Amino acid sequence: MGIRERLSGNEAIATAMKQINPDVVAAFPITPSTEIPQYFSTFVNNGTVDTEFVAVESEHSAMSACIGSEAAGARTMTATSANGLSLMWEMIYIASSLRLPIVMSLVNRAVSGPLNIHNDHSDAMGARDSGWIQLFSENNQEAYDNFIMANRIAEHEDVLLPLMVCQDGFITSHSIENIELIEDDKVKNFVGKYEPKHYLLNDKEPMAIGPLDLQAYLFEHKRQQAEAMKNAKKVILEVSKDFEKMTGRKYGLFEEYKMEDAEVAIVCMNSTAGTAKFTADKLRSNGIKAGVVKIRVFRPFPTTEVAEALKNLKAVAILDKSDSLNAAGGALYEDVVAGLYQGKLNVPAVNYIYGIGGRDTKPDDLEKVYNDLLEIAKAGKVENPYRYLGVRGDN
């Protein structure tokens, strides 16, 4: 029986961290993730956990401390947003290349510049090829659940990659929702004890590790990282299945909402999925067969599985909350279209860049997207595949 609570997304993550009781948390405050280490530091201060909390002078130092502690054999966590992740840039690549299963809460926020503290996905998209597993969370419950599953996934011997749990800054991080917590003893049993095979403080296996890797081996080690990312897909599903047995809450690589007979659909991530579901329900009451595919696992990307989910559509819109500035569409769009191409599926696809810098995206906006899809379905082709939603100056 779960514990009913009302928590913000940040409180939910801090609570999950408390229940897991990691060996080390190293963090530096940055809006809108500041509350996570702030809440967690109170648990350290009052003795609720015995975690070593490292208050550092920058996010670069935070990830450096995480790398050192995880390499020493300690289960390690952190939290950051936007420019904080940018300052970690060198170290996030080192963390993944050293195969260190650090878990991070990434509260998504626009990356400067210009300076903006509100939500979009430019921070996560910037790090999408850094070798970190990326889980996205529609609401506070999913952020909490993803975080509980994170260590089991990252620490699996076939994976050993760092993992970031993403949620939308302010939209979920600071909004209070009803949430069902898991009992502390169940969390501890589910996550298990961290017992790395190779670590610096193992006196029976003296070793040194570092980021230097020259021509003779770097290519092979990058290939190993790629194989670990492929392995992560299976492990995520296995862990999610065990989580469902414990809680009754089911998670896959993505969620299909009313897709059984859908003719048009939106593909999106994080909190926008809730708005898209609401809009799809409204349209269905008017006889329009609208659906939603909510991506939960962005890295590794479920290419073939998403393509299979979209194969019967007459048109699909992929929504990116970050602009790749490449004249060829956003990151999510590119991955989805690659899957359709590989599956030899001729589904007309259109990309919308939306919500940049915290711009509100309302049901009316998404209804416009669905109406555009109906026109595309009628024509059987896309005239302009790269579009913007809700930006002033566009027709």
Residue 147 has pLDDT above 60, yes or no: yes
Residue 395 has pLDDT above 60, yes or no: no
Sequence-distant (6+) residues with CB within 8 A of 172 are 8, 9, 137, 138, 139, 140, 143, 270, 271
- Per-residue pLDDT, averaged over 168-177, amounts to 98
Q: Are 276 and 311 in contact (CB under 8 A)?
A: no
**Structure tokens, 78:** 């952190």
Only one residue has tokens 């790395």, namely 196
How far does Cα 252 stand from its chain's mean position?
Answer: 13
- Residue 393: the pLDDT is 84
Residue 394 has pLDDT above 90, yes or no: no
Alpha helices in the chain (DSSP H): 9-20, 35-45, 59-71, 82-87, 89-97, 122-126, 140-154, 184-191, 218-247, 272-284, 303-310, 331-342, 363-379
Sequence-distant (6+) residues with CB within 8 A of 21 are 49, 50, 51, 188
Sequence-distant (6+) residues with CB within 8 A of 333 are 318, 320, 349, 351
Confidence of residue 309 (pLDDT cuts 50, 70, 90): very high
- Residue 210: the pLDDT is 83
- Per-residue pLDDT, averaged over 366-372, amounts to 98
- Residue 3: the pLDDT is 95
**Structure tokens, 207:** 């070793």
- Per-residue pLDDT, averaged over 275-285, amounts to 98
Only one residue has tokens 């500035």, namely 325
Asked if CATH classification 3.10.129.10 holds for the domain at 254-389, the reply, yes or no, is no
Superfamily of domain 3-247: Thiamin diphosphate (ThDP)-binding fold, Pyr/PP domains (3.40.50.970)
Amino acid identity of residue 367, one-letter, is E
- The three-state DSSP-derived secondary structure of 23-79 is CEEEECCCCCCCHHHHHHHHHHHCCCCCCEEEECCCHHHHHHHHHHHHHCCCCEEEE
Residue 1 has pLDDT above 80, yes or no: no
Closest by CA position to 18, among listed 77, 96, 89, 86: 77
Class of residue 258 by CB neighbours under 10 A (exposed 0-12, middle 13-18, buried 19+): middle
- pTM across the whole model: 0.97
Class of residue 121 by CB neighbours under 10 A (exposed 0-12, middle 13-18, buried 19+): buried
Rounded Cα–Cα distance for residues 257 and 66 (Å) = 38
Residue 272 has pLDDT above 90, yes or no: yes
Q: Are 80 and 88 in contact (CB under 8 A)?
A: yes
- Residue 6: the pLDDT is 97
Q: Are 189 and 246 in contact (CB under 8 A)?
A: no
Structure confidence by residue, pLDDT tens digits, 189-234:
999 999 999 999 999 999 988 878 999 999 999 999 999 999 999 9
The end-to-end CA distance of the chain, in Å, is 52
- Residue 17: the pLDDT is 98
Structure confidence by residue, pLDDT tens digits, 51-94:
999 999 999 999 999 999 999 999 999 999 999 999 999 999 99
Q: Are 88 and 53 in contact (CB under 8 A)?
A: no
- Residue 335: the pLDDT is 98
The domain ranges of the chain are 3-247, 254-389
- Per-residue pLDDT, averaged over 2-15, amounts to 97
Question: CA distances (Å), 125 to each of 13, 95, 132, 298, 389, in order?
Answer: 21, 18, 11, 10, 19
Helix axes 303-310, 331-342, angle to 10 degrees: 80
Gyration radius from the chain CA atoms: 21
Residue 349 has pLDDT above 80, yes or no: yes
Rounded Cα–Cα distance for residues 144 and 36 (Å) = 12
Closest by CA position to 135, among listed 144, 257, 10, 126: 144
